[in-house]
Every structure is written in structure tokens, then in C-alpha cells.
Structure 1
Amino acid sequence: MDDNSPKGSQGEAQSFFPSLKVLCLWDCPNMKSWWRTTKPIDDDSDEDDTTVMGTSTMAFPCLSSLTISNCPFTSMPLYPSLIDDLRLVGTSSRPLKQTMKMNITSSTPSSSTSSLPLSKLKSLTLDNIEGLDTHTLDECLQHLTSLKDLEIWNCKEVDLEGMQWEALKNLSGLEILNIPKLVSLPRGLQHLTNLRVLRLTDLPNLTSLPDEMRCLTSLEYLQITEVPWLEERCREDSGADWHKIAHIPKIRLYNE
């Protein structure tokens, strides 16, 4: 796509496709920018991501559902108003970070949580995201107070260590898949008091479950697939971690 950079005052968000509600972008491997930029895009730049386009930032004001799959965008209109779902697969973390930083540039001390970017989002999938580490993920989740479903897949630089989970009190479903650096589930999961479904898949270095699993009193279904260290530890009655999960009505262990 070829578009001129928008005109606007510094820090001002400009509307882009103001009536668009659903957007799906698939398999655009050579498309890194939505428009022609005045300077090359450097993925490794430490420049403030909030003003990649220069004097203003473009945003979808009404977009409620967004899917980006195998499109390495580093510059595109932002999406602070998403309500239904956000699915990012095989793409850059940069637009996500830009979107979350919009609250830093536009919010005031009197702003309510509901006005913060993505604070009304219900479902989030992050799959093989370039530039996504634990710190970035933690920052992105802090204002997602309406989130009900979260999937973290194939993120090689994420280990979840030290993350804060208090904001996700409405989360009911969590899936963690192929996170090689994950060696233990974060203790902060105890704050997910409404969590009903937890799926752990292909986690070769996850060696045990934390005692805080017993705090997940709403958990109805636990599925553990291809997590070799947990196969024995979660065995009914005899496993070292069984007492931490015995309260869960349905537990499924698979070693495919």
C-alpha cells in the first residue's frame, strides 16, 4: 500500500478507515509498512515507537477484531479500540508496543481504565512474535482488564518470570504452548481467580507446578500435553505435584 504520511499535530492520533470493524491480513511476507515512510524502518532501532510516522500516529478508531498472520509489519495504523479479539501470528511486536504506548502519550491522571488501549479486549493470541520478550509481554497485559482468553504460543524469548497477573482477574482461559525458556509457572497465576481452563503444551523445560496452583479454585479443566517432567509429577495420588491440582475436576495428561 502506498499512502502519504498524514498531517496532524504532534502526538495526535489520526483516524484511519473510521468505520472499519473487522480486519484480517494474511501472508504478506514482503509488506513491512502500511504506507511510504520518509525514512527506512529499522527493526532494531531504540527510537520511541509512539511516533514512528513522525508528527502523528494513525489509528483505527472503531476496529473491534484484528488478525495479522505472517505479515512482518513494523509500521501500521494502531488499534487501541479492539473489543472482540486480537490474533498476531508470525509478525512484529512493534505495532502492539506502539498501541500500548498510546496511553502514555494520551492518558491523563484522571483517565479511567476503560479508556486505555485494549482495556476492553476479550481475546488475545500471540504466536511467534518477533521482538516479544517477557518484559514487553508483561507491559502489554497490564491494562487488559476485560481479557477472557489468552494464548501464548511459540514465543522463544518469553519465560513469564516475574510477570504481574493481577490485572487479568476476568481471564477464564489460558493456553501456553512451546515456550522453551519456561522452567516454572509464575506464582502470579494465583491472581487468576476466574480461570477455568488451563492448557500447557510442548513445554520441555517445565519441571514442576507451583504451590499457587491450589489458589486457582475456579479451575475446571487442566490439560498437560507433551510436558515430560510433569507426566510423573502429576500422576493421580502418587505424583509429587498431585496435591496441588487434586481439586481440579477434569485433568488430562497427554504424551504424544
Structure 2
Amino acid sequence: MGVLIRAEDVCKDYDAGEVKVQALRNVSFEINRGEFIVILGPSGSGKSTLLNILGGIETVTGGTVYYDGTPLSWGDLKSLTAYRRAHAGFIFQFYNLMPGLTALENVQLAAELSRDPLDPETLLLQVGLSDRAGHFPSRLSGGQQQRVAIARALCKNPDILLCDEPTGALDSGTGSQILKLLSDFNRQYEKTVILITHNENIAEIADRVLYFKDGCLERVRVNERPIKPEEVVW
């Protein structure tokens, strides 16, 4: 498959008044092209900070992140914007849909930002919302809004899909549907999916699990037999 992302001694510090908070401490790992990775850890362990760094949203205090062998240039905002636009898709716990646009228009918005987008209408069909294409977010349930957000992220046809607690605000049935959509995207298109969660059961669907605590990567576990999303116990 080949290494797609490599992190070397990544550190991230925040200044909180007179106190320096170390969000990440000398984190190093590799992620292969086409893997489904779960980053697992409690709140405050550095998961979201790491995800934002991998997506080019936040910069590092120390260390280097390589994408396909090329280091991300933290001092070049134009380069980071180009990286996010061309390679990264984002799914968050809260859906961040444009309230004045329909479901289809929200997805089409992502297509306009991509050089090689997937078809918005096909994606809405795949997430089971073709009959809601003309509905505004206010007329959609939370699970439906999250499925629109996923279709929007997939529409960019990103090399990596970065998911920050995408099932955190959903019930178990809808959460299982969301995980299946992410797993299908990973398998069907051979794209890399990185999902952060504090739910250990969700980690069982991953190819590998990265365990974080207090800003450190404690260990990495290979899942010899990943389970199906619908088998996750909530």
C-alpha cells in the first residue's frame, strides 16, 4: 500500500497565560495508503489536536509531518490551503452545514472546491438521502445532517478522510449507519480514513488502533480481524 502519512517527533504546545500546555509530545507513527485508522483516547489526550495537524488546520510546535513523502510546510499558508483542498476531507461531530443551502447544494459546494469531485447526486443516493436533496438542514434530523456532511466530505474525493467523533451526537442505530458509510468509502475507493473516538468498541472496526494518553502515543494495536460496523456494541 505504501506510507501516505508519516509523523516524526510531533509536538504541539499552547500558551495558557503563564502556563504552557503540551497537547502532543514527540509523537511518531506511519499511516499507510488505504488504511482505516482509529485514534483512541480520553478527552484531553491530544486526539483532536493531532487530527487538525494531519489536516493542515493547526501547525506544529516541533517535529515534521510528511504527506506522501513531502513535508507539510507550516510557514506557508497558501501551501497548507492547497493541501487541505486537494487531499483532505473533514467530518466533525457537529455537522457545520450551510443553513441557507439545501442538502444537495451543501454537497455541490464541496464539488466546486475539488479538482476531481465525485458526483453529488450519486453520493446523496449512497447515503440514503436522494429524497431529501431539496430539504434545508433545519428540516433534517441529526443523523440525516451527518449523512449530508459525510456526502459533502466524500464529494471532494479526498485521499484522507479525517473524522472527529462523527458518531458522538448520534444514537446507536444512526451511529452504526455512519460507521458503515465510512467503512464502505474506505473499502470501495481505497481511501485512508482516520477516525478519532473515546469509544473503545468503535476501534474494533479499524485496521490499526493508535492509543493516546496525555498527549503521547502509548501503543499501536493491529486488528487482525476487524469487525463490521453493524457489529459494534454501543
TM-score by length of 1: 0.28
Higher strand share: 2
Q: Which has the higher helix share?
A: 2
| Larger CA Rg, structure 1 vs 2 | 1
Q: What TM-score do you get using the length of structure 2 for normalisation?
A: 0.30
